[in-house]
Each structure stands twice: as structure tokens, then as C-alpha cells.
């Protein structure tokens, strides 16, 4: 026999879990009014939804950057969902930012370690994801979690939260300088810090593309390698951060801009993520 469930009990469970009214009512009925069992029921429902949606693409979401209070460590977190509608929902934003705050505070080693952290006194982040899937009805997950450290780390969140970056410096720098470089990273999407940081695979790909372009233009074979190297040098200038032209003053590179402030100042690391 299913016991009668009061509206106040349903509302209490809804406030506690964020699930829909009808889902809460059914959960309480199925668990005979036991709140802990009702919460488990909702999580199981979430697990079922998660399994059903495992093959769905979660390409929307929020990209968030945050640094520790001392400015020595920065976190870049991507929480994905399926639709822009969910990404713009205030509750989803609060959820994503709570996960971000836990990552900044606890400094977990990887995504699995992050999910194992407590979301609150009652539930882990992993279980909260399952609960949110049951509530929202969409696949949601952590798409990326990256951390860098430095003497100064700056986080930049582009309006709309579809793009963010974190940048580390080898010395203490002003907020203005840090923001200038972070906005450079956001706007110009460098693929590496400097020439030596470009992977062998990426370099070979650029060289091969250049060779094919040159041959297609009908240039003699003995000129191909020389011209290809010139194109690679252009690639370094356009795609490695320290060699890019500074967007606020194209008469100097980012390296020259930093050295104009302090001859030993440089960027030691950066991470950037954009939802396409």
C-alpha cells in the first residue's frame, strides 16, 4: 500500500535535491516516505538517465577560470551540458561554480579526484552530477580540468562563459599586465608558449601543409624546403604566445612587452579553452 504523501514533504525533498515536484512525490511514494531512500531513488533515476544519455554529445556548458586567494594557482574548469538553454540556467551556473570552488580549495590531482570531493556535507560531486542529470534530463559532465601554478597566476573569463584562460608568470606582476596577456591568450589562441614548445607532430604537420601549398603553386622542388621553413617561421610568429604581436601594440611581441616591464619577466604556462 502506498502511503499518502503531503505537499510539505514533497516540497522539502524538492528543496533538498532540486528534483521536480512530481519526481519527488513519486520518490517518496516508492520509498514509503523515507527521505534517505527517496534521495537514493532520485539518484538511481539519475543514474538511469545518465546511462541512457551516455552516447549524447554534451557540447554546450560553462568554461570557468579561478585563482587561489594568493594568486599562485589557477584552475580552468569546463562543465558541459547538451543545450545552451541549460548552460544559461542560473541553477546550472551555481552548480558549476560550486564544483569550481571545490577544485580551487582542495587542488585535486585529476577529474576523478575532483568528483570524489564533497559537494556539501551530504553528497559527493560525482553523486551531485548524477542527481543533476536526473533533475535536468541532459547529459552533463566535466569536460576539462586544468591547473597551473606560478609566482602570479591570472584567470580571465570572457563574457558569456564560453571561453576562459589562466596564465602563469615567473614573477609578481600587476593586474593590468596579467590581464593584458590573458586577453592576448583569449583573443589569439596560441597553440604553445614558445617555438621549442611546439610538438614535433604539430611542426611536421605545418611543414607538410606548407610543402603541399608550395608545390601547388608550381614552385621548383629545390625551393620547396626553403619556402616551407619561411612559412613555419610565420606560424611561430602567429601561433606561439611569446612571439605573437601584442594586440594592444603590434610594434612589439608579447616577449618584448613583458621585457619592457622587467627584463626577466616571462610567461611560464597558460591554458585556454573555448566552446566551439
Residue 117's CATH number:
3.30.479.20
Would you state the pLDDT for residue 215?
87
Inter-CA distances, 165 with 65, 146, 273, Å: 6, 10, 6
Asked if the model's pLDDT at residue 47 lies above 90, the reply is no
Q: Which residues of 196-218 are buried (b: 16+ CB within 10 A; e: fewer)?
A: eebeeeeeeebbeebbeebeeee
Residue 165 lies in a domain: no
Residue 161 lies in a domain: no
Of the given ranges (1-10, 28-37, 100-109), which has the lowest mean pLDDT?
A: 1-10
Would you state the pLDDT for residue 225?
86
Would you state the pLDDT for residue 3?
67
Whether residues 74 and 133 fall in one domain: yes
What domain range is 233 assigned to? 195-264
Asked if the model's pLDDT at residue 2 lies above 60, the reply is no
193 pLDDT tier (thresholds 50, 70, 90): very high
Report the domain count for the chain: 3
pTM: 0.82
Whether residues 71 and 47 fall in one domain: no
What value, to the nearest 5°, has the Cα angle with vertex 23 and ends 18 and 29?
Answer: 120
Residue 180 lies in a domain: no
Residue 269 lies in a domain: no
Could you read off the pLDDT of 129-149 as tens digits, one per residue? Answer: 998 998 888 999 999 999 999
Burial class (CB in 10 A: 0-12, 13-18, 19+), 90: exposed
Residue 185 lies in a domain: no
CATH classification of the domain holding 221 = 1.10.286.20
CB atoms within 10 A of CB 42: 27
What lies within 8 Å, CB to CB, of 192 at 6+ separation is 198, 199, 202, 239, 240, 241
Residue % of the chain over a pLDDT of 90: 66
What lies within 8 Å, CB to CB, of 54 at 6+ separation is 139
Question: Given CA atoms 228, 232, 234, 239 in this order, what sign does their dihedral have?
Answer: positive
Asked if the model's pLDDT at residue 221 lies above 60, the reply is yes
Whether residues 24 and 85 fall in one domain: no
Would you state the pLDDT for residue 207?
86
Could you read off the pLDDT of 142-183 as tens digits, one per residue? Answer: 999 999 999 999 999 999 999 999 999 999 999 999 999 999
**3-state percent breakdown (helix, strand, coil) of the chain, nearest 5:** 50, 20, 30
Residue 216 lies in a domain: yes
Structural contact between residues 20 and 14, judged by C-beta atoms closer than 8 angstroms: yes
Residue 184 lies in a domain: no
Would you state the pLDDT for residue 12?
84
276 pLDDT tier (thresholds 50, 70, 90): confident
Asked if the model's pLDDT at residue 94 lies above 90, the reply is yes
C-alpha cell at 155: 584567470
Whether residues 95 and 29 fall in one domain: no
Query: From the centroid of its chain, how far is CA 139?
Result: 16
Could you read off the pLDDT of 103-128 as tens digits, one per residue? Answer: 999 999 999 999 999 998 889 999 99
Sheet holding 73-81: strands in order across? 60-67, 73-81, 141-149
Residues paired with residue 155 on neighbouring β-strands, in sequence order: 166
Q: Half-sphere exposure (CA, 13 Å, Cβ side) for 128? A: 23
Residue 12 lies in a domain: yes
Whether residues 66 and 145 fall in one domain: yes
Whether residues 47 and 65 fall in one domain: no
Whether residues 76 and 136 fall in one domain: yes
Asked if the model's pLDDT at residue 50 lies above 80, the reply is no
CATH classification of the domain holding 22 = 1.10.8.10
Of the given ranges (87-91, 132-136, 185-189), which has the lowest mean pLDDT?
A: 132-136
Residues paired with residue 77 on neighbouring β-strands, in sequence order: 64, 145
Structural contact between residues 169 and 249, judged by C-beta atoms closer than 8 angstroms: no
Structural contact between residues 191 and 205, judged by C-beta atoms closer than 8 angstroms: no
Query: Which 3 state secondary structure label does DSSP give 252?
Result: strand
Amino acid at each position: 500500500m502506498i502511503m499518502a504523501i503531503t505537499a510539505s514533504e514533497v516540497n522539502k525533498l524538492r528543496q533538498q535535491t532540486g528534483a521536480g515536484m512530481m519526481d519527488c512525490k513519486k520518490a517518496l511514494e516508492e520509498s514509503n516516505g523515507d527521505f534517505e531512500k527517496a534521495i537514493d531513488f532520485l539518484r538511481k533515476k539519475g543514474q538511469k538517465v545518465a546511462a541512457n544519455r551516455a552516447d549524447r554529445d554534451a557540447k554546450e556548458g560553462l568554461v570557468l577560470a579561478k585563482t587561489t586567494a594568493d594568486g599562485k594557482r589557477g584552475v580552468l574548469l569546463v562543465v558541459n551540458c547538451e543545450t545552451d538553454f541549460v548552460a544559461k540556467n542560473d541553477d546550472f551556473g551555481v552548480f558549476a561554480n560550486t564544483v569550481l570552488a571545490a577544485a580551487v580549495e582542495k587542488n585535486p590531482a585529476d577529474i576523478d579526484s575532483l568528483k570524489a570531493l564533497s559537494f556539501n556535507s551530504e553528497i559527493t560531486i560525482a553523486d551531485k552530477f548524477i542527481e543533476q542529470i536526473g533533475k535536468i534530463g541532459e547529459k552533463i559532465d566535466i569536460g576539462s580540468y586544468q591547473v597551473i601554478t606560478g609566482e602570479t597566476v591570472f584567470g580571465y573569463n570572457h563574457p558569456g562563459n564560453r571561453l576562459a584562460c589562466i596564465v602563469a608568470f615567473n614573477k609578481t606582476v600587476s593586474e593590468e599586465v596579467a590581464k593584458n596577456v590573458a586577453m592576448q591568450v583569449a583573443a589569439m589562441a596560441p597553440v604553445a608558449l614558445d617555438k621549442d614548445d611546439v610538438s614535433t607532430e604539430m611542426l611536421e604537420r605545418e611543414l607538410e601543409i606548407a610543402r603541399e601549398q608550395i608545390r601547388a603553386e608550381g614552385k621548383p622542388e629545390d625551393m620547396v624546403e626553403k619556402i616551407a621553413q619561411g612559412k613555419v617561421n610565420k606560424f611561430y610568429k602567429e601561433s606561439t604566445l611569446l612571439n605573437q604581436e601584442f594586440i594592444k601594440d603590434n610594434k612589439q611581441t608579447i616577449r618584448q612587452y613583458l621585457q619592457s616591464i622587467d627584463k626577466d619577466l616571462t610567461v611560464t604556462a597558460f591554458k585556454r579553452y573555448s566552446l566551439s
